[in-house]
Amino acid sequence: MRIHILGICGTFMGGLALLARAAGHQVTGCDANVYPPMSGQLEAQGITLTEGYSAGQAALNPDLFVVGNAISRGNPLLEEILARGLAYVSGPQWLAEHILPGRWVLGVAGTHGKTTTTAMLAWILEAAGLEPGFLIGGVPQDFGVSARLTGSPFFVIEADEYDTAFCDKRSKFLHYHPRTMILNNLEFDHADIFSDLAAIETQFHHLVRTLPSNGLIVANGAEPALKRVLDRGCWTPVEWFNTSDGWQAEPDAEEGNFSVTLAARELGCTSLALPGAHNRANALAALAAARHAGVPPDLALQALSRFKGVKRRLEVRGEVRGVAVYDDFAHHPTAIAATIAGLRGKVGKGRVLAVLEPRSNTMKLGVMKAQLPDSLADADAVFCYCKNLGWDAQAALAPLGAKAQVFEDLSALVAALAAEARAGDRILVMSNGSFGGIHEMLLAAMAADGHPRM
């Protein structure tokens, strides 16, 4: 089959392209911005990329156009496809019809931690010799690619609640039909497509309705919203984590070490390179899901101790004169607070300088602005980039007092941050985008001006 993918450089669609190519299909694609690292991954696989969405691309005459969810009505190529009655399908539907049939699908859903938990689960199955295929919304350090197709019956997928395509406003995860399903947590997010938390809960309820009775739901018992979802109807066995009668993690005195119990019975101990209670919870979910796929807990615990993490999840991007610069994808107040707390637990009394770009659609709408001060409270200083934000970041962060600074100019932010940093500081950069290359700019600025101060 010859397919042409609209929006191919997105994380999901780029991963889909790699899977399609591995399955033997001829793949081309286009995007508004064809740039690394995804463009490099795709071109290395022999996938031809076109910049932009010109209507003339219809002349490629593929068997099928696969349309990403970033593509809206008014897009020139989409309008040409519709006008000419050409065959098209959404990315999740194509995946469900051409990659997932006959496989044991292990899905990971939730507002936070999907990428890390999916990568953990894939790594545990890999360590057990199960050679899973996977599609992950990031690049796991242990694999070096975001998607892989194998001959294994097991396939691990990050199951996103965001909508499917311009023609299908259901959540993506409704297409995947998993046998093992992790429900990691559930909060309000994606204010651009969901009116409130109840609307997201309904999508999760629809997901639960598709799960088989011989499957397994692994759910976070500390999340009231998930309990409400399952109370609406559940036909699949459930194992809870973060509950006294389910899976629990008890941190040890030594950093990163923790013991795991199930129904108060100790299963063993492991260590985790990623700090924080949220990552221990992610690990519990992955352990439970892996056990359902046949991986003994002792083997899974050993695998976790070797898990390297995911790019852009507390990833160290460089260090200059004793100042470490971290990159993290956190963009929701809960994730921001958890990430800062995790780093704080790692560095103790060392200073944490938080740098935030409120870039997600929800953040741009200002829905979460009242929660930002509390989420950033544990940082020693806060630098916020607010160009074209649409709401008053200075006013929103006023409760933080003098420790919060707001900038509309990225160069000015970098200069102020470089001037502030001193040896022993950790600079935590948080954004769900590239943030204008701030990491390299900051490292260069600190190296050039002799900072940080002692």
- Both 140 and 285 in one domain: the answer is yes
- Both 266 and 334 in one domain: the answer is no
**Helix H or strand E encompassing 242:** none
In 45-86, where does DSSP find H-type helix? 76-84
Residue located via tokens 């701030």 = 438
In a domain, 310, yes or no: no
Determine the pLDDT at residue 36.
64
In a domain, 370, yes or no: yes
**Residue 236: CATH number of its domain:** 3.40.1190.10
Domain span at residue 46 reads 2-91
452 versus 313: the higher-pLDDT residue is 313
Find, among 330, 300, 290, the residue nearest to 314 by Cα: 330
- Both 128 and 80 in one domain: the answer is no
Residue located via tokens 């999508």 = 203
Residue 216: φ, ψ to 5°: -150, 135
- Both 443 and 359 in one domain: the answer is yes
Determine the pLDDT at residue 454.
42
In a domain, 403, yes or no: yes
393 versus 221: the higher-pLDDT residue is 221
- Both 141 and 278 in one domain: the answer is yes
Determine the pLDDT at residue 215.
98
In a domain, 309, yes or no: no
In a domain, 66, yes or no: yes
- Both 395 and 292 in one domain: the answer is no
- Both 143 and 235 in one domain: the answer is yes
DSSP per residue, 288-332: HHHHHTT--HHHHHHHHTT---BTTSSEEEEEETTEEEEEE---S
Determine the pLDDT at residue 138.
82
Residue 440: φ, ψ to 5°: -65, -40
* CA–CA separation, 277 and 339 (whole Å): 10
- Both 366 and 278 in one domain: the answer is no
Crossing angle of helices 11-22 and 91-98, rounded to 10°: 30
Domain count, the chain: 3
Task: Write down which residue in 250, 270, 304 finishes a domain.
Answer: 304
- Both 292 and 324 in one domain: the answer is no
Q: What is the pLDDT of residues 200-237, one digit of tens each?
A: 999 999 999 999 999 999 999 999 999 999 999 999 99
In 75-180, where does DSSP find H-type helix? 76-84, 91-98, 114-127
Taking a C-beta distance cutoff of 8 angstroms, is the pair 387, 414 a contact?
no
| Residue type at 79 in one-letter notation | E
**Residue 35: CATH number of its domain:** 3.40.50.720
Task: Write down which residue in 283, 304, 325 finishes a domain.
Answer: 304
Record the tokens describing residue 30, joined without a space: 């286009």
- Helix, strand, or coil (residue 239): strand
- Name the percent of the chain lying above pLDDT 70: 97
- Both 333 and 431 in one domain: the answer is yes
Q: Model's pTM, two decimal places?
A: 0.85
**Residue 367: CATH number of its domain:** 3.90.190.20
Determine the pLDDT at residue 291.
97
Residue located via tokens 């991963």 = 15
Query: CB count, 10 Å around CB of 260?
Result: 24
- Both 365 and 296 in one domain: the answer is no
In a domain, 261, yes or no: yes
In a domain, 376, yes or no: yes
In a domain, 144, yes or no: yes
Determine the pLDDT at residue 35.
65
Q: Is 297 left (phi over 0), alpha (psi -120 to 50) or beta?
A: alpha
Task: Write down which residue in 91, 120, 141 finishes a domain.
Answer: 91
* CA–CA separation, 154 and 176 (whole Å): 13
- Please give the distance of CA 218 from its chain centroid, rounded to a whole number: 18
- Both 411 and 431 in one domain: the answer is yes
